[in-house]
Amino acid sequence: MDVWDITSSFINVADLYTYLVYYAGVGVITTSSLATLQSQASAGNIVQIKRDGVWFHSVIITGGTTGNLTYCGHTNDWLDNPVSSFSEASPVYTDYRIIRVH
């Protein structure tokens, strides 16, 4: 059996943020507005989601148009889901971080 070493920056929301922002120097926009997320994010950006005061999940914007973006994530096999579905989340998401990796 092969043993794989993994880095926490790709399995932990806070570590991914630290790696990308402090070591790779990417830009970040933080907002509590879903409309701002929809207008400022673009394909290839990572979006981190805050709930109950904790940044708990990362997804990748995969396409769509301004105001009608889609994303993918590993939870529930999210494949090109509409970003607008964040407004249906329970409990409600309170903040979003757009990490511009390109």
Cβ pair 87, 8 in contact under 8 A: no
Q: Is the pLDDT of residue 12 over 70?
A: yes
Sorted by where each begins, the domain ranges of the chain are 8-100
In the sheet where 54-65 sits, what is the strand order? 27-31, 95-100, 46-51, 54-65, 68-73, 78-82
pTM (2 d.p.)? 0.87
Q: Is the pLDDT of residue 22 over 90?
A: no
Res 23: pLDDT: 84
Gap between the Cα atoms of 59 and 71, Å rounded: 6
- In Å, how far from its chain's centre is CA 100? 10
CATH of domain 8-100: 3.90.1720
Res 3: pLDDT: 66
Res 11: pLDDT: 77
Average confidence score pLDDT of the chain: 87
